[in-house]
Every structure is written in structure tokens, then in C-alpha cells.
Structure 1
């Protein structure tokens, strides 16, 4: 194959993407966790009630009264949960743009992760997220404004922020390095 054929084949491929779900309202997540714990306790209470009946000589009649009530409360809360979740999709940047971002965001000397990669890991990944990320909804893909990204980042927990950063970094740094390594190993040219 000549270089034009190789490039044409590569250009016909869609760029890699990654999707993450993040919670924009931690209070909803805490409430759901509490409801799940209440459901667990209700099931234990129902199991204990069935065991007590059996010890008293009565035929064990499994009861689910408490669990059913807790399950109904959890299901009623599902709408609130769905309103607090946002699905984001990120697309891999071309190598030149990624390189420009890494050059524009020098490493923080007091951060080991930055020293390992030679650039500000969080700033590069956050900027790339804002450049390539879209919100997925029932209506399709929605571009967010820089102001919306700022507001979103301020609402996220550290865990959810890290989900975004890791997805973007994986797309642009880790996955490509793994592809090259796998190809080299596959042809025995290591």
C-alpha cells in the first residue's frame, strides 16, 4: 500500500470515543444510597420475621411487607436519580492538538503524576474534555458552552471529575500507546 491508501483507510475510520455517566447532584446519590440501605434492612427484617414464625411452630410464611415498601420508595425516587445523571461522550483529539495542549500546560513540579507525563495532567485532560465532549440525551448530542462546562465541573464530586479526566486521558494517551505496543508485539518487532 502506498501512503495515500494507508491515510485514506485511516481517515475512513471514526475516531475513538468513550462515554461516562456522572452525577451532578451528590445529595441525590446519598439519598439513593440511604434508600438502598433501607431496602437491605427491610429484607433482613422480613427474613427475621419469617424465622421467628418458624421457631414458634407456625408454618413459615415468607413476608416481604417491609421490603416491598422500601422497594416502592426506591422506585419512586428513580426519576430524581435520572435527573441528576448526565451522560457525556468524549472523542479522541488528533495528535497535533493533543500535543499542543500538553505543551501549553506545563507540569506542576510538586505533582508526581505531572512529572511522570511532563505536562499538567488535569489541565490538559479537562481542556480536551471541553473541546471534544458532548452531552448525550434523548434528543442526541448536545454541545456544552464553556460556561456550562465550568458549572458542571464545579458540581462534580472528585470521583466524577476523575471519571472524565481518566476517560479523556485514556483516549488520547493510554489507548494509543497500547495499540502501538500490541501491533509491535503482534509482528515480533519488539
Structure 2
């Protein structure tokens, strides 16, 4: 899930259901800890990070030691499409609904469920995924993709732009 308020709300919801969720963090860096009442607080985050860095240094380790086992995609992409229509939320919602209906017509693409926002697609031929979603605040649709193939995101982007290009209320 993306969008810092969505991520924070989901973590709060999980805790209310008895699922331990200590951290809500969005890819842009917004971060909220349960112990800090899920406030989106960069100062709190950097304080926690500096404490961790100091502890790692005492152990003779570096930040890379914490990350070394995490898998990274070979290819990744983010681009934004501006919505030029006055009622951008309604227009964008219509585009997302159209895209969800379009996905099954793309060979090797399938909708990911459950999905918590926008439309997330498994892109099997590109060994990756794509997510298109509305910005929470701006007349923008954010598109993120990852692929385990060199050039996989270019193929995903090409298909996304081909679909989106038919909408006069969108600009790249």
C-alpha cells in the first residue's frame, strides 16, 4: 500500500484487529511508529536511525549489513501522469476502473487481490508488477513498477502508456 495516510491507517487497523504492526512506512520515506502514536514524524525516525547506526558501529557493522539479504529488483520505474480535468478524483477513478477491466486482455497480466489502493497487476512476462494509483492530494496518478528482467520495466511502461494515451484528460 502506498500513500502515507493509507499506510498509517492500515497499521492502526491491523493493531485494532490484534495484528502487531509497529511501523507504517511508505516508499517516499513517510514513517510512523506505533510507539510514537503513528505520527508521521521525520525527526523521530532520524533519531531512531541514528541510535541504530551507533549500535551497529559498536558492533563493528555498517548499515549494509542489515540490508545484505534483502532482494532488489533488477529494474524499477516510477512515473506520474497529470490529470488535467477539474474533477480529477472522479476522472482518475474512472481511469482506474477502465484499467482494471483492461488488464485481463493483456497477455500474461493479472490483477492482484487483495489490493488496498489503485490497481496492482502481476506482469508475468516481465517478471514483475505495476501499480497505478491516485495521489492522495494532487491531480496526479502515480505509476510504480518493478521487474526481475533487464528492461522489464520499459515493456511495462510501454503497455501502460499505450493504455493511458487514449485519455485526453491525462498528460505525461
Q: Same fold (TM over 0.5)?
A: no
The structure number with the bigger radius of gyration is 1
| Higher relative contact order, chain-length normalized (CA < 8 Å, sep 6+) | 1
Report which of the two has the higher share of helix.
1
Report which of the two has the higher share of strand.
2
Q: TM-score, normalised on structure 1?
A: 0.28
